[in-house]
Structure 1
């Protein structure tokens, strides 16, 4: 219901005198049925007037006058209360909620409320403005004004509530009495459970009584509350709600990132956190958080919102998806799988990084092939293209210190390269695909070359094992040391004169050499001898000689510790040297 200025003044006077107050004892007078009907009609009239708003013309005029800096009279202050989010075209779409005069206006309302002279319908107008705030169309400073409005409502509500007494009150006021959190930071929390279940009975009643438009911030906040509530469920119930939550987030995106942060962190607490395909596909979308592989490049910065453990969880989901997609979709269309998916799946938990490289033919096929189109879409911003061969796709993965390149067609070997001496840019946007880059190991420089002949899996596993790359099920089986376990033996032998590296400090407590950062010859020798066939070759007494570590098996754990101590890999000798 809308009221003109004159009618508004008359109504204000009438309501202040409580002309619309009723009592149930009317039913005892005269004819009960007629009295009941009259009572209901009067109550409806009361609710209409008690929730009335100024006419759109008067509200707009007050908003314009306020933004122009005019001094508002009492009537204008009443009408502008419900128009704080009114965009004024004469002021380039500015709204009163973003004005620098807002604080003074709010001070007026607060003083009136404390004095008991603020018209209840004016306060309702402020409530209307509070719920009509649309965060998707608001400007930055307007959000600050909305926060001030919420503070004003919370501060003045006790005065409005108290002054209204226990007689018949407007429906909006009764709704606030039942749900006072509506004007707090946790406005939507109590409705989250019902919202998740699709039950809007209570919400619809509040929407009707209070007047919450579909564009209101409230619905966005409700999605965030739903995510928080869902995170408190048990694992099974939480997982069952994820599709519903994703649908809600898609429909109300203001708090999307906060909600996803909650969902991903909660999912990570599930034992084993198996791949959740729908959650993965949504969060890695090019318009959402993008591929987690792009985090290091400073492109997908939203991944900084979650812990490294959560990021790695989704990265592992993407890596696994890439591996399966490559062989299921790309290699399979050329009948070139040859058991490669099953083979590399045995190393899945060790794959720390992947990259898909599409041929021109594959990119063209995406127009008519839904699977390829979806695959390319998921890898947006992370994939590369091949220009040297139009029908070959490539797959790059990293396991430990090694980069492995596989191809999608028969007759192409897989190449294993040392990441420290890689001769092509792993982040390049294009590749030739031949010996110029991805297959340079055909001539020299590869740690090993896997040829997919019949029974190739056994020889490939052997070659990878020589490099310290073992199937996931075998990685927990530590090699037995030749001597007593290092963790129970204290290293306290000083280095021999002329053979020491950097200053050596004997440890005061037993420790694992694998995590020791203080280098010494004693620590080096004790650690290296734990690895079969590995040995220290110290040539520093000769002119220009170096300190070397030979490890024919190229164990990854040994290599990692040597790098901690400052050793570097020499490709020419296939050994580690101390970089003094």
Structure 2
């Protein structure tokens, strides 16, 4: 790039093209340095802002290919984190891959803005409600997959497939881990815990309690346990007291309460049909 190009009406255009499509990640920085443009120059700010704006108009394939470059930019320039993350998530929600979890975007958004399933996570106001719902579904899917494959004694395909039929209606999901998973996790369990810091709670009150998960569909909180000899409990309100949630520890008696639950169902025989009938009575149908 020459000084004449730099002084043109759109001086950052060529840099944007190089930034988005050149395999040499340092090319733009080297070009700016050769022109004696400092990292804190107005030109660099203009370049980043224009690159972020270009996300909206990029073709889907070009956008998906450029995601790693933007994530690198985010890491190198934290000051642009909100703008970059907002642009990437909003654009991803319009692609044909929105139902496919993007693990890096999911983990970065959790670190930056907290759990999108909680209204207290104010950072999620940066994106539209539809985009927020997309990310919530990412976490719900990840929770269901982890619970039935990583924290269960064996892969429970039937229950996983059953609850995935209601994925778009789930507005909250939580995992509750027993002493074994908390103190002596397997490699997969440890990885899940690292990637979901602050998104799981500990079961207390019984050392050999099964792991549990909870999802909210409509007006019901539904609690399942990793061991099949446990029933599925349906609650009209959050089954554990708010103070327990804040401590990150929940009593097993709060999750498994025949007296507080609206009702509970067992997994016997063709249990999917009996579950469907009961849920339909509540006005809840598969997606």
Q: TM-score, normalised to structure 2's length?
A: 0.85
| 1:414 equivalenced with 2:238 (yes/no) | no
Q: Deviations over 1:402-435 (max 9, x none)?
A: 110011123111111123xx5533671221212x
Q: Which residue of 2 aligns with 1:397?
A: 215
Is the Cα–Cα contact under 8 Å of residues 230 and 266 in structure 2 kept in the other structure? yes
Q: Which residue of 1 aligns with 2:129?
A: 308
Q: Which residue of 2 aligns with 1:468?
A: 283
Residue segments in structure 2 that go unaligned for 5+ positions in a row: none
Q: Deviations over 1:313-358 (max 9, x none)?
A: 2112111211111112111xx1272621011111111111111112
Is the Cα–Cα contact under 8 Å of residues 243 and 278 in structure 1 kept in the other structure? no
The structure having more radius of gyration, on CA atoms, is: 1
Deviation at 1:285, TM superposition (A): 3.7
Rounded Cα–Cα distance in structure 2 between residues aligned with 1:360 and 1:454? 31
Is the Cα–Cα contact under 8 Å of residues 175 and 206 in structure 1 kept in the other structure? no
Q: Which residue of 2 aligns with 1:486?
A: none
Is the Cα–Cα contact under 8 Å of residues 55 and 91 in structure 2 kept in the other structure? no
Distance verdict in 2 for CA 1:252–1:282, change over 3 Å: farther
Is the Cα–Cα contact under 8 Å of residues 85 and 109 in structure 2 kept in the other structure? no
Q: Deviations over 1:74-133 (max 9, x none)?
A: xxxxxxxxxxxxxxxxxxxxxxxxxxxxxxxxxxxxxxxxxxxxxxxxxxxxxxxxxxxx
Deviation at 1:252, TM superposition (A): 2.3
Secondary structure class of the residue paired with 1:225: helix
| 1:196 equivalenced with 2:23 (yes/no) | no
Secondary structure class of the residue paired with 1:431: strand
Deviation at 1:272, TM superposition (A): 6.9
Matched residues, number: 281
Q: Which residue of 2 aligns with 1:358?
A: 177
Distance verdict in 2 for CA 1:423–1:290, change over 3 Å: closer
| 1:177 equivalenced with 2:1 (yes/no) | no
Q: Deviations over 1:125-173 (max 9, x none)?
A: xxxxxxxxxxxxxxxxxxxxxxxxxxxxxxxxxxxxxxxxxxxxxxxxx
Q: Which one of the candidate residues 192, 195, 200 is aligned to 1:375?
A: 192
Q: Deviations over 1:435-480 (max 9, x none)?
A: xx1111x2x34333121223222222222222222211xxxxxxxx
Q: Deviations over 1:14-45 (max 9, x none)?
A: xxxxxxxxxxxxxxxxxxxxxxxxxxxxxxxx
Q: CA RMSD in A?
A: 2.8
Residue segments in structure 1 that go unaligned for 5+ positions in a row: 1-173, 473-580
Q: TM-score, normalised to structure 1's length?
A: 0.44
Deviation at 1:398, TM superposition (A): 0.4
Distance verdict in 2 for CA 1:394–1:279, change over 3 Å: same
Q: Which one of the candidate residues 48, 58, 61 is aligned to 1:236?
A: 61
| 1:292 equivalenced with 2:105 (yes/no) | no
Q: Which one of the candidate residues 151, 156, 168 is aligned to 1:330?
A: 151
| 1:346 equivalenced with 2:165 (yes/no) | yes
Distance verdict in 2 for CA 1:389–1:240, change over 3 Å: farther
Report matched runs for 1:4-403 at 5 Å. Answer: 175-180=2-7, 188-198=12-22, 199=24, 204-212=30-38, 222-271=47-96, 273-286=98-111, 288-294=112-118, 296-297=119-120, 300-331=121-152, 334-335=153-154, 337=156, 339-366=158-185, 369-391=186-208, 392-403=210-221
Deviation at 1:223, TM superposition (A): 4.3
Rounded Cα–Cα distance in structure 2 between residues aligned with 1:289 and 1:466? 37
Secondary structure class of the residue paired with 1:244: helix
Q: Which residue of 2 aligns with 1:455?
A: 270
Rounded Cα–Cα distance in structure 2 between residues aligned with 1:291 and 1:378? 12
Secondary structure class of the residue paired with 2:117: helix
Deviation at 1:397, TM superposition (A): 0.5
Is the Cα–Cα contact under 8 Å of residues 20 and 69 in structure 2 kept in the other structure? yes
Secondary structure class of the residue paired with 1:250: helix
Rounded Cα–Cα distance in structure 2 between residues aligned with 1:190 and 1:403? 53
| 1:446 equivalenced with 2:270 (yes/no) | no
Rounded Cα–Cα distance in structure 2 between residues aligned with 1:321 and 1:342? 13
Is the Cα–Cα contact under 8 Å of residues 322 and 356 in structure 1 kept in the other structure? yes
Q: Once structures 1 and 2 are overlaid, which stretch shifts more, 395-404 or 199-208? A: 199-208
Q: Deviations over 1:456-512 (max 9, x none)?
A: 22222222222222211xxxxxxxxxxxxxxxxxxxxxxxxxxxxxxxxxxxxxxxx
